[in-house]
Amino acid sequence: MENYFDKRLDPRLLVEGSKSVVSLVLNYYPESIQKPDVPQVSKYAYGNDYHEVIKDKLKLFLEKIREQIGDVGGRVFVDSAPVMDKSWARKSGLGWTGKNGNLIHPKNGSFFFIAELIIDLELEPDGPIKDYCGTCTRCVDACPTDALNTPYIVDGSKCISYLTIELKDELIPQEFAGKMNNWAFGCDICQDVCPWNRFSRPTRETAFQPNELLLSLTANDWQDLEEDQFSVLAKNSPIKRTKLKGMKRNVLFSSKPE
């Protein structure tokens, strides 16, 4: 994002001649969740990697548009370029940005992926909706690492999702010991406590159905896992981003006393 600031602001630099951004969301909320006594994995990673699942759907959608309208130029985007997903989705009325930094819809909560079609077709835009967070601070109060001390702004350097996925250092900073709440890949705390997620309903997308083996592994299971076993387990899964070494680091640290 930082390296392509101009493209963040002007999608025409990504798709020549583009005139519209079509924002879409896809629910990933699971039917059941992990037991609390095992290393926790963010719900978005329960099933298959969403990048490929959604990209295939968007390509099909673009083909359907072309069948109906004709030669429409465009590209699909799923976390694959400097596109401001939440900003475009908010402008299009798919939700408001909550105090936890997530896009929240008043009827669907926030457990969904965001994607875009950027096309050269002129469309009448939808408008944004109001912020319904009000005086609620449940997400701010619940964050164990104080990553939400300034509402609406996530301090990435303190976010458990960053620490367990993006941080590639050999060790997680000691200041977070005893504050990880057993999260080994990502974190859903600020979404789990959000009152709007009482409206979340289980996804109908079969590709997002939970990998029961992945979700049932204990801390000891993770430490005993070999590379070839991890390769099978992580195939088509978002957890492959951390590699086995990263998962073992996270599992060991997430239960460390302060």
Mean pLDDT of the residues in the chain: 93
Q: Is residue 124 part of a domain?
A: no
Q: Are residues 150 and 237 in the same domain?
A: yes
pLDDT bin (cut points 50, 70, 90) of residue 201 is very high
Q: How do strand 96-97 and strand 183-185 relate by DSSP bridges? A: unpaired
- Structure confidence by residue, pLDDT tens digits, 92-128: 999 999 999 999 999 999 999 999 999 999 999 999 9
194 and 231 fall within a common domain:
yes
pLDDT digit string (tens) for 24-62?
999 999 999 999 999 999 999 999 999 999 999 999 999
User: What is the residue whose two structure tokens read 């302060």?
Assistant: 258
Q: Based on the domain organization, do 100 and 179 belong to the same domain?
A: no
Q: Check whether 178 has a pLDDT greater than 90.
A: yes
Question: Does the structure show a pLDDT above 90 at 81?
Answer: no
Q: Give the residue-averaged pLDDT of 149-170.
A: 96
Nearest CA among 213, 207, 217 for reference residue 250? 217
Give the pLDDT confidence score for residue 1 in this predicted structure. 46
For residue 12, the model assigns a pLDDT of 79
Q: Does the active-site annotation cover 56?
A: no
Residue bearing the bigger pLDDT, 62 or 9: 62
Looking at the domain assignment, is residue 191 inside a domain? yes
169 and 113 inside one domain: no
pLDDT of residue 84: 87
Which residue range is the domain that position 69 belongs to? 2-31+49-119
The answer to the question of residue 132 being in a domain is no
Tell me if 43 is assigned to some domain: no
For the segment 168-186, the average pLDDT, to the nearest whole number, is 96
Could you tell me if 69 and 121 are in contact, meaning their C-beta atoms sit under 8 angstroms apart? yes
Q: How confident is the model over 238-246, as a mean pLDDT?
A: 96
Instruction: Give me the pLDDT at residue 79, please.
Output: 83
Residue 42 lies in a domain: no
Q: Check if the beta carbon of residue 223 is closer than 8 Å to that of residue 187.
A: no
Q: How far apart are CA 130 and CA 118, in angstroms?
A: 25
Residue 6 has pLDDT above 80, yes or no: no
Residues 163 and 248 in one domain: yes
Lowest mean pLDDT among 39-48, 76-85, 221-230: 76-85
Half-sphere CA count of 204, side-chain side, radius 13 A: 0
Together in a domain, 94 and 201: no
- The total of structural domains in the chain comes to 2
Question: Active-site residue among 79, 126, 141, 146?
Answer: 79
Q: Are residues 154 and 235 in the same domain?
A: yes
Read off the pTM. 0.92
Using the predicted structure, report yes or no on whether residue 3 has a pLDDT greater than 80. Answer: no
Helix (H) or strand (E) segment spanning residue 119: strand 112-119
